[in-house]
Structure 1
Amino acid sequence: MTQPNTRKDSIDKSEQIFQGAIGEFLEKGYAGTSMDKVAAAAGVSKATVYSYFQDKEGLFKALVARMARERFYLVFGTESLQGEPEVVLRRLATKLLDRIARDREYLAFMRLVVGESGRFPDLAQELIRNIVHPGIKELSGYFASHPELKIADSEAVARIVIGGLVYFVLTQEVLQGKEIMPMERDRLIDSLVALLIG
């Protein structure tokens, strides 16, 4: 008789819970989602959900961290930023705008976090801690290692770059503004690279 693979079973159960949770949070918002509803959507018992997550806030924070890791990997990949600045910046901006802007689940999740941020600031801070901060740190380190760019404050410029790209996604996709103030992705990327490279 073979022993069950408890680690694999544990991963499968947590994945079930995450899948159930994301659907509930996106449909009902943070306040409208209960652990009972998550358990039902995930097809597991409420006790199983609580065996993995202490409470709804813990589940939501774990979900934010998980989505952040996945999206960070999609944009920055396994390799650190390496290569000529023009190529690296163009590749980074293209990846961020292409992959994030087309990720409907992630955009819906962003709307949820922004919408709930006034009532639940700790949850919004999880997004900053797990997505924005690592991206800025990575890009800031890259700028600091390239003195030829003549950037006096690498962190401030990294914030400007990431902020500009996030703002583009926010206004075009999250807030549905592409019909009101349309702009082609490549036009934004070309201008951003020109500003930094000179």
Structure 2
Amino acid sequence: MPIEQPEINVSHDKREQILNGAMQIFLTHGYAGTSMDRVAATAGVSKQTIYSHFQDKQGLFTALIDRVTRDRFQIVFGALPLAGEPERVLRKIAYTLLHAIAEDREYIAFIRLVIGESGRFPELARQFVGTIPKRAIATLSQYFESHRELNCPDPEATTRIFLGSLVSFVLMQNVLEGETVMPMDGDRLVERLINLVLKSS
């Protein structure tokens, strides 16, 4: 029986253990207020174990960005490449983004963290934008481009209008607490947005 597989599993489990602990500390204390000592204590590992998996604090946060965004991208976009009738595909993306993602408290808290720290640590914001936003724009742009029946003259701009409207709604309502000040039914936005995008394409 090979011994490599258990060792790999242990290493993966330890990495996840560290990331889970790191998420708690980063969300509680912010990026600047997070120390490897705090992460180690929360994760139940030694500092040396953290350094053996992640080079430094920025490397740890980068790994956290990768994990958080990879999981949420899969939830919103599913199997790639995107396939199906445009109205159905756009509606699925929109509803998933507004409901599954907007109600994901950990993800909303993580976005708050990235935005809050972006002034002092702009590299963190750039790393975040380079993951799920950049990949999402490329994925949907490719879909628009491949559906010539939409007659879409600028797939990237159309994608940015579509996704930007949805993200702006989530930020306004869920991150900035706008739902208590200027509530609006997200489904209403989705219907008008899809109608706008498909008619203008």
Same fold (TM over 0.5): yes
Any residues of structure 2 matched to 1:1-198 within 5 Å, and which? 3=3, 5-198=6-199
* CA drift at 1:83: 1.0
2:94 corresponds to which letter in structure 1?
A
Q: Which range moves more in the overlay, 79-88 or 172-181?
A: 79-88
Cα RMSD between the aligned structures?
Answer: 1.3
Q: Distance in 2 between matches of 1:116 and 1:88?
A: 34
Q: Distance in 2 between matches of 1:6 and 1:30?
A: 31
Q: Quick check: 2:162–2:197 contact (8 Å CA) kept in 1?
A: no
SS in 2 for 1:31: coil
- String of CA shifts for 1:106-145, please: whole Å, max 9, x gaps: 0000000000001111111111111100000000001111
Q: Distance in 1 between matches of 2:105 and 2:50?
A: 26
Q: Distance in 2 between matches of 1:187 and 1:34?
A: 44
2:63 corresponds to which letter in structure 1?
A
TM-score (norm 2): 0.95
Q: Distance in 2 between matches of 1:32 and 1:90?
A: 40
* CA drift at 1:2: 8.6
- String of CA shifts for 1:64-119, please: whole Å, max 9, x gaps: 01111101001111242211111111111011111110100000000000000011
1:187 corresponds to which letter in structure 2?
R
Q: Which range moves more in the overlay, 149-158 or 133-142?
A: 149-158
Uncovered stretches (5+) of structure 2, i.e. residues with no partner: none
Q: Distance in 2 between matches of 1:10 and 1:27?
A: 26
- String of CA shifts for 1:34-93, please: whole Å, max 9, x gaps: 011101100000110010011000000110011111010011112422111111111110
Runs of 4+ more than 3 Å apart: 1-4
Q: Quick check: 1:25–1:33 contact (8 Å CA) kept in 2?
A: yes
TM-score (norm 1): 0.97
1:166 corresponds to which letter in structure 2?
V
* CA drift at 1:152: 0.9
